[in-house]
Each structure stands twice: as C-alpha cells, then as structure tokens.
Structure 1
Amino acid sequence: MTKHWLIIGAAGGIGKALVRTLLAQGNKVSAISRQSSHTDNQQQQGLHWYQLASAEQPEAADVLAAIFSDKVDAVVLCHGWLHGMGMQPEKSIRQLNRAAMQQSLEINLIQPALYLQQLLPLLQKQQNVKIAILSAKVGSITDNQLGGWYSYRMAKAALNMLVKCSSIELARYNKEATLISLHPGTTDSELSAPFQKNLPEGQLRSAAETALRLIQVITELRAAQTGALINWDGSPLPY
C-alpha cells in the first residue's frame, strides 16, 4: 500500500537516499530542504519538493498545512552537523569554542525543535503516524565510555530530551502516534567522511543501505516505543 512520507532535511546524504528509496518503493514523498534539489528526483511521480530555510519562515506553516492536507503516515527529520567551517569534533574540553557549540546546537537541536513545534498540532490528527528524528548513539549519556566530541554529544543528548518531552505531549492527544530518536548507524556521507579510516570492517554503510534499514525500522514502530532512542537495527539504546 502506498504511504505518504515527509522527509525534512531531504538534501543531505541520508535524506536524499530516503527520498530515492521511498519513491522506488512506490510511496508518495513530500520533501523539505534548505536548498532546492536539482536531482532527477524532482521529476519523479509522487514527489513534492519544498524549499524552506527553517521552520521560522512565515510560509512554513502554509507548506506544512498543504503537506498534511493529505494524510501523512511517517515523518523523518534528518538534521545533522558534526564538522565544517574549519571546526572539528573536540577531543578535549580545552578545544571547546563558542562558535562550534552554537553551530552544533543550531543544526542538531534548534532546527528540529522548531519543526516539531510546527508539526505537533498536525500530528495530533494523524492516525498511526510514525515520526523519527535522526539522532546519534554518541548522544547517549549511559553509553558514553570514550568522552570527546563535546558539542555533538551535547547537542544530540539535548535532542533526545526534546524527543522524549515531545512524545509525552503528543501522546496526550494522539495515543496511536510514535515519536522516537533514531540512530542511523555510520553512513558514508559528508558528515562521516573524515572519520571513516579506522572503522571496523562492515560498520560503514552506503546511504542507500541506511535508507532501507531506517525505512524498515520506522515502518515497524509501535506506539509503545514512543519516546525511545532506537538503533538502526530496531533495538533500543539507553539514554
């Protein structure tokens, strides 16, 4: 059966792969990204692509209302930033700087938070809707045995709290909704590119492989899992 998926942050490596894979499976896809996509995807039947710099744009509410005029079955938020603009993950607290922390919080936490703010009233009316916010295993406080990567870890840990709080609020209005944090695994993308050299064999997956795994996990979500941090294979991860 054809499903309607909303992919936010659709121009990134995982976002693009999700769009391609979902379309190939015969689904309807609404995609939102900061930049317009110049790929062949835009010409495919079943795809509507919207350009929004952020959820704070005045037209964001109208775009989301138009998307949700047709029942939405699943939503994936794909925001993520680890390095760039001369900044790398910190190995020591001595390397912390305001610019890197602000950039990480802006993309990994604030942008998805503002989209969730806009989405929650719409999600309250969607039967059996499933929402996944791409997070990271390194955002788990319990699992952290190595330290380092301060800005990224802090932002993803905060994102997990955002998802937990939002899932509780959403459940008050929609008992069938499932809202989770989802760790996609190590994916061959710009985000992971500088850190792939010493990965164990088999840990790095292509964006297409990641997309297939995440679609399966999201499709199989149950309302009892709402608020959880879920691994790429569907297993629970500790906060």
Structure 2
Amino acid sequence: MALRPVMSGAAVIIGASGGIGGAFRTLLEEEGAFDQIHGFARSFDGANHIDLLDEASIAGAAAQIAAGPAPTLVLVATGLLHDGDRGPEKALRDLDPQWLARTYAVNAIGPMLVAKHVLPLMPRTGRTVFAALSARVGSISDNRLGGWHGYRASKAGLNMMMRNLAIEEKRRNDRSVVVTLHPGTVDTDLSRPFQANVPDGRLFDPERAAMQLLDVIEALKPANSGKLFDYQGEEIPF
C-alpha cells in the first residue's frame, strides 16, 4: 500500500481511538505521505476531543485543522450499532424512538456535520478525498434479511447524504472524491457480539481492514465520487 504523491497536506481521522480509525492513523504515520495527521475521538481529551453529538466540538476540531496545512484526506471512521444491553432491532416490536434518533445522530448526521465544518477547509483544486465508513447493510437493493432497522436506515441515510455532498463538492473542486466505504466485518467492539457466523477468512483485523480501504482510496477517481465501495474496491449499489 502506497498513497499517491498528490496526497500531501494534512490527513484527518475522526474516530481515531477506534479499531479501524487507530489503524488508519498508524498506517498513515508510517507512510509519511502527509505533512500533518490529525486524530480526533470522543474518548480523547483536550484539543483532540470530538463528539459527533456536539456540533461545537466538531467546529473546535475544524478550527484546529484550519491552523495547519489544508486537509486533502478526511476519514470518518465512526459508527454506532450497539451500546450496553441495547443492540440492533431484530423486529418491528423492538423499535424505540430514542435509540433510533441516537443511531441516526451518530451514523448519519454526525459525519455530515464533520463535512459541514471540515470540507470547506479542503483545497479547491487537486485531488481530495472525503470518506466515511458505511456498511453493506445500508444498501436498500442488497437488503434481503431485514432487521437492524435503525442501523440499516441510518447507513442508507449516510449514503444518500454523501451522494448529495459529492454533487455539491464537485462544483467547488471537480477533482474531489466523496465516498462511503464498507470495511467488511472487522474485529472491533462494534462487530464483536455478531462475529459467530462470520465465514472463515472474512473477519479482518483492524490493520488489514484499514490497509484494504487505503488501497481502495488510492485507486479512486473523481468519477467514483458519490458512491459506496467495499474493501475490494467493488461498488455496492444503493
């Protein structure tokens, strides 16, 4: 894996304390392709703290980014599937409006607020990439099992809003790439309760997952903007 030389400037990782986000940060630091790497997470203290439910913290992170080199790569590596004894809904009877609202706030609205504050800091010329982690289960056309109502719908909502964002950003920088990415099933806290049925060889450690996605990012072209891609670089229809 080697990022193209045009990926200079700054890289920004939202969710840098998580499995995939932390692996992104480590790999990019090892690669040395960026002048500066910013890592933000809800669990971080001080200037590197960010909470997708708190727009003021997102604006604060953006102000810190703006003080350095312009970001050319932004990775939003966040997501909410379960929390404590609250997990994804298996049936209609499990719907809870507060949990649905929180799921939407973290999975769909939060990444867009990051875009609202950080995307204007990205250059108006040259190749840039703004990517957010989505999921195959957010594909409406690929939904054959049902269930997981809030997670599926929030990731589908993220895909749609990122498509909108891609169209708008293209008017500002015609070489920009705005995409959602499906990392596969990764051995992190998010997937741990649901790993029992994962086929052999399809559960990825965070470093492998991050490396695969960086390879996908490397190959993306402006014509790919507004789409959802899996870890093999294959487009997943919405």
- C-alpha root-mean-square deviation of aligned residues, in Å? 1.7
Superposed CA offset, 1:112-161 (max 9, x none): 11111112322352520011111000000000011010010010000001
Task: Answer with 25-34 or 100-109: which moved more.
Answer: 25-34
Residue aligning to 1:114? 113
Q: For residues 27-42 of structure 1, what are the structure 2 equivalents within 5 Å?
A: 27-28=33-34, 29-36=37-44
For the residues of structure 2 that align with 1:126 and 1:78, how far apart are their CA atoms?
A: 25
SS class of match (2:132): strand
For the residues of structure 2 that align with 1:160 and 1:97, how far apart are their CA atoms?
A: 23
The answer to whether the 8 A contact 2:229-2:235 is kept is: yes
The answer to whether the 8 A contact 1:10-1:78 is kept is: yes
For the residues of structure 2 that align with 1:80 and 1:178, how far apart are their CA atoms?
A: 21
In the comparison of the two structures, how many residue pairs are matched? 226
Q: In the alignment, is residue 232 of structure 1 matched against residue 231 of structure 2? A: yes
Superposed CA offset, 1:1-54 (max 9, x none): 4733211111111101111111122244211112227xxxxxxxxxxx722234
> TM-score normalised to the size of structure 1?
0.89
The answer to whether the 8 A contact 2:14-2:77 is kept is: yes
> TM-score normalised to the size of structure 2?
0.89
What residue identity is the alignment partner of 2:198? L
Task: Answer with 150-159 or 112-121: which moved more.
Answer: 112-121
What residue identity is the alignment partner of 1:15? G
Residue aligning to 2:56? 56
For the residues of structure 2 that align with 1:222 and 1:84, how far apart are their CA atoms?
A: 36
SS class of match (1:180): strand
Task: Identify unmatched segments of 5+ residues in structure 2.
Answer: none
Task: Report the CA distance between 1:105 and its aligned residue.
Answer: 0.8
The answer to whether the 8 A contact 2:41-2:49 is kept is: yes
In 2 relative to 1, CA 236–170 (structure 1 residues): closer, same or farther, beyond 3 Å? Answer: same
For the residues of structure 2 that align with 1:95 and 1:184, how far apart are their CA atoms?
A: 27
For the residues of structure 1 that align with 2:221 and 2:187, how far apart are their CA atoms?
A: 29
Residue aligning to 1:212? 211
Superposed CA offset, 1:207-229 (max 9, x none): 01001101111121100000001
After TM superposition, what 4+ stretches of structure 1 lie above 3 angstroms from structure 2? 1-4
SS class of match (1:59): helix
Identity percentage of aligned residues: 36
Q: In the alignment, is residue 10 of structure 1 matched against residue 16 of structure 2? A: yes
Task: Report the CA distance between 1:99 and its aligned residue.
Answer: 2.4
Q: In the alignment, is residue 164 of structure 1 matched against residue 170 of structure 2? A: no
Residue aligning to 1:175? 174
Task: Answer with 204-213 or 98-107: which moved more.
Answer: 98-107
Task: Report the CA distance between 1:71 and its aligned residue.
Answer: 3.4
For the residues of structure 1 that align with 2:146 and 2:24, how far apart are their CA atoms?
A: 31
SS class of match (2:75): strand
